[in-house]
């Protein structure tokens, strides 16, 4: 597998509106619309779910280390789709703890081999918190 480099993602966040226009022209759907189609969920249902979910993006330093701008790009894409998203200040386990402390419902993180997003565990734990 080829490792993603910082220069591969420069400007992605700033170019999301342009990407949406290109996707609409080519597919008739925006990035959000393609995501809904891929998940087999109606746009309104997805918007309702997104409105109630907070995303914590956790930078990971394992493997060959951080890819500059990656976590910010993931946050930008999540925000563009409609999520309330943030990047943790801490990395790795401390970042996971921080995301939990900041009430994230969904965690997103990646290492050299896998991109991972998890919803549910934090929601369950938040339920028992108070």
> Is the model more confident about 27 or about 4?
27
Mean pLDDT, rounded, of the chain = 81
Which of 3, 1, 10 minimizes the C-alpha distance to 68?
10
Percent of the chain with pLDDT over 90: 32
Least confident of 31-45, 56-70, 89-103: 56-70
Q: How confident is the model at residue 2 (pLDDT cuts 50, 70, 90)?
A: low
Q: Residue 120: its pLDDT value, please?
A: 57
End-to-end, the C-alpha distance of the chain in Å comes to: 44
Topology classification of domain 9-129: Rossmann fold (3.40.50)
Strand partners, 54: 84
Contact 27, 38 (CB under 8 A): no
List, for residues 71-127, the tens digit of each pLDDT value: 888 899 999 989 999 999 998 899 999 999 999 999 988 776 777 777 655 444 444
> Whole-angstrom Cα distance, residue 34 to residue 126?
30
């Amino acid at each position: 597998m080829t490792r993603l480099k910082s220069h591969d993602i420069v400007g992605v966040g700033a170019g999301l509106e342009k990407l949406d226009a290109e996707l609409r022209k080519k597919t008739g759907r925006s990035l959000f619309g393609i995501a809904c189609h891929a998940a087999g969920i109606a746009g309104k249902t997805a918007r309702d779910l997104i409105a109630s979910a907070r995303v914590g993006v956790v930078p990971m330093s394992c493997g060959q280390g951080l890819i500059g701008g990656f976590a910010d790009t993931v946050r930008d894409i999540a925000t563009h789709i409609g999520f309330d998203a943030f990047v943790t200040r801490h990395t790795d386990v401390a970042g996971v703890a921080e995301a939990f402390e900041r009430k994230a419902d969904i965690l997103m993180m990646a290492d050299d081999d896998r991109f991972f997003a998890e919803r549910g565990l934090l929601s369950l734990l938040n339920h028992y918190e108070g």
